[in-house]
Amino acid sequence: KKQHKKNKKDDRGPPEKEKEKEKASVPAPSKPATQSPAHKGTAFAILHSLVFVSFLYFLLVVKRLPEHIQVDDPAALKKLAKKLERQQVPLRSDYGYKVSLFSHLHQYSRKNPPTQQISIPATVIHPSIVRLGLQYSQGIIAGSNARSVALLHAFKQVIRDYSTPPNEELSRDLVNKLSPYISFLSQCRPLSASMGNAIKYIKKEISNIPSQCKEEEAKRRLQECIDSYINEKIILASEAISKYAIEKISDGDVILVYGCSSLVNHILCEAFEKQRKFRVIVVDSRPRLEGKEALRRLVKKGIRCTYVLISALSYILPEVSKVFLGAHALLANGYVMSRVGTSQIALVAKAFNVPVLVCCETYKFCERVQTDSFVSNELDDPDDLIVTRNGKTHLENWQTVKSLGLLNLVYDVTPPDFVDLVITDLGMIPCTSVPVVLRVKNVDQ
């Protein structure tokens, strides 16, 4: 029952819930002991256990709202501050004027990374986690696959350096050690869906370590688990997806891609190696301009490329035969969460009757549901939008102007009717089959 609870729980749940669970789980073993002595206490005990069980069930079924979308709630902020203080993780403050529609989200500045507030040498947080957090907050590591792989490698390092303190069990203590790390990382940059799934997997593996297992053996086993997770879910999955996707690429195709998706780039490079004749149009958008990186990789391979900005989409779409998009996460109601601008591309492609194919590994599927890009999103540094044209920087002092706001969204959701096909490592499915896949995965586990 404890494992079951740990699986269902959202990994961002505050320690209070953990404490409650621990409190709840501790009296449970002692219950049978108290029930035997008095008969008149039995009815009371049964009633108490019923209430207790239903309360536990309630905790299991109702998911907690993640903290990073409750910024406008002062009570939630206070709870977070207390939790971070207890874990000795620095609290990051918001920056700049926030557009009122997004007052429930954090908005950080890249110039104040949370690592500045950590003492050197870091005592509570492992140095590889500190380095990882800095890489996230500065945007050095970006893209959901890259972030997950970096996270897993950092956790491997943590496990290698971990030593069980006396009178503690590795399966419980290591999980507790990981909590402040995860809080710190989510302060640097909110966790992605793929990172969330990876963390859930690791916590499950750690708690599954039997107590009689020796420490060296346990650590070795955990590192093997992490390696096999990366291998199966990311590397082999991308091989499988490439194989399916290459069936969909025919000679003479003009393929449109958006931004830099490691998976889509991999597919195109594989298809080129298999002697398919096609050319690629890379669409890019401000302020991230990630398409330049994709362009560089494709040109290095020798693929013929064209480069446009997203505002030129209607101009270039009549030439396009297919659109390949990457995804950050696939939500349970069939919506595709991806880099901002993806939904726009899908919309205009639909208007021009161009098929849209989304490529996504199954480890990015998540149980959340969302219908618009407002309730759960990420706000990037607003200063990124400032640009100098013809020697003039119009938005230079936007902070001084009271009624001016800059909005730098990171993600948006694409409705399933714009997407024609989702290519996953389990095969080619329509968008609406995502909950089926999730259910199959849960049954497997």
Partner 1 sequence: MPGADKETDLSERIESFLSELKRCGSGAGSLRGSAETARETTALLRRITAQARWSNAGDLMEIIRKEGRRMTAAQPSVTTVGNMVRRVLKIIREEYARSRGSTEEADQQESLHKLLTSGGSSEDNFRQHFAHLKANVIEAINELLTELEGTTDNISMQALEHIHSNEVIMTIGRSRTVEAFLKDAARKRKFHVMVAECAPFCQGHEMATSLSKEDIETTVIPDAAIFAVMSRVNKVIIGTQTVLANGGLRAVNGTHTLALAAKHHSTPLIVCAPMFKLSPQVSDTPVQSHLHDLVKLTSILSKVNAHCPVFDYVPPELITLFISNIGGNAPSYIYRLMSELYHPEDHEL
Angle, CA 203 vertex, CA 198 and CA 209 arms, to 5°: 130
Q: Please choose, out of 46-54, 86-94, 268-276, 292-300, the segment that lies near partner 1 by the rule CB under 8 A.
A: 292-300
Residue 414, phi then psi, degrees to nearest 5: -105, 125
**Minimum distance from CB of 445 to partner 1 (Å)?**
34
Residue 354, phi then psi, degrees to nearest 5: -105, 130
Q: How far apart are CA 128 and CA 71, in angstroms?
A: 28
Regarding 295 and contact with partner 1 (CB under 8 A), the answer is yes
**Minimum distance from CB of 334 to partner 1 (Å)?**
17
Q: Of 34, 36, 116, 311, which lies in the binding site for partner 1, with binding defined by CB under 8 A?
A: 311
**Minimum distance from CB of 341 to partner 1 (Å)?**
3
Footprint on residues 172-191 left by partner 1 (CB under 8 A): none
Regarding 269 and contact with partner 1 (CB under 8 A), the answer is no
Complex with partner 1: residue 131 or 368, whichever CB lies closer: 368
Q: Please choose, out of 26-34, 116-124, 128-136, 282-290, the segment that lies near partner 1 by the rule CB under 8 A.
A: 282-290
Residues 6+ apart with CB under 8 A from 81: 91
Cα 417–chain centre separation: 24
Q: Of 255, 305, 331, 359, which lies in the binding site for partner 1, with binding defined by CB under 8 A?
A: 305
Around Cβ 445, how many Cβ atoms within 10 Å?
8
Regarding 309 and contact with partner 1 (CB under 8 A), the answer is yes
Complex with partner 1: residue 286 or 439, whichever CB lies closer: 286
Cβ contact 92:71 at 8 Å = no
Binding mask 99-118 for partner 1 (x = CB under 8 A): x-x-----------------
Q: Please choose, out of 37-45, 133-141, 322-330, 366-374, the segment that lies near partner 1 by the rule CB under 8 A.
A: 366-374
Side-chain-side CA neighbours of 294 within 13 Å: the count stands at 31
For the CA atoms of 249, 430, 192, 377, the dihedral, rounded to the nearest 10 degrees, stands at 110
Q: Of 24, 142, 347, 429, which lies in the binding site for partner 1, with binding defined by CB under 8 A?
A: 347
Complex with partner 1: residue 169 or 319, whichever CB lies closer: 319
**Minimum distance from CB of 399 to partner 1 (Å)?**
12
Complex with partner 1: residue 76 or 347, whichever CB lies closer: 347
Give the H/E segment covering residue 18: helix 15-25
Residue 175, classified by CB atoms within 10 Å of its CB into exposed (0-12), middle (13-18) or buried (19+), is: middle
Complex with partner 1: residue 285 or 424, whichever CB lies closer: 285
Around Cβ 16, how many Cβ atoms within 10 Å?
11
Q: Of 142, 299, 429, 438, which lies in the binding site for partner 1, with binding defined by CB under 8 A?
A: 299
Select from 143, 204, 195, 149 the least CA-distant residue to 175. 204
The angle that helices 127-137 and 170-188 make with each other, rounded to 10 degrees, is 30
Regarding 416 and contact with partner 1 (CB under 8 A), the answer is no
Q: How far apart are CA 194 and CA 211, in angstroms?
A: 29
Q: Please choose, out of 8-16, 79-87, 140-148, 346-354, the segment that lies near partner 1 by the rule CB under 8 A.
A: 346-354
Q: Of 341, 360, 363, 366, which lies in the binding site for partner 1, with binding defined by CB under 8 A?
A: 341
Binding mask 369-398 for partner 1 (x = CB under 8 A): ---xxx----------x-x-xx---xx--x
Q: How far apart are CA 59 and CA 62, in angstroms?
A: 6
- The DSSP bridge pattern shows strands 253-258 and 278-284 to be parallel
Cis bond before residue 318 (omega within 30° of 0): no
Regarding 340 and contact with partner 1 (CB under 8 A), the answer is yes
**Residue count of the chain:** 445
**Minimum distance from CB of 217 to partner 1 (Å)?**
49
**Minimum distance from CB of 30 to partner 1 (Å)?**
53
End-to-end Cα distance, the chain: 15
> Looking only at Cα atoms, what is the longest distance across the chain?
88
**Minimum distance from CB of 113 to partner 1 (Å)?**
23
Q: Please choose, out of 50-58, 62-70, 260-268, 298-306, the segment that lies near partner 1 by the rule CB under 8 A.
A: 298-306
Q: How far apart are CA 97 and CA 303, in angstroms?
A: 43
By CB under 8 A, name the binding residues for partner 1.
Answer: 99, 101, 284-287, 289, 292, 295-296, 299, 305-316, 339-341, 343-344, 347-348, 351, 372-374, 385, 387, 389-390, 394-395, 398, 401-409, 412
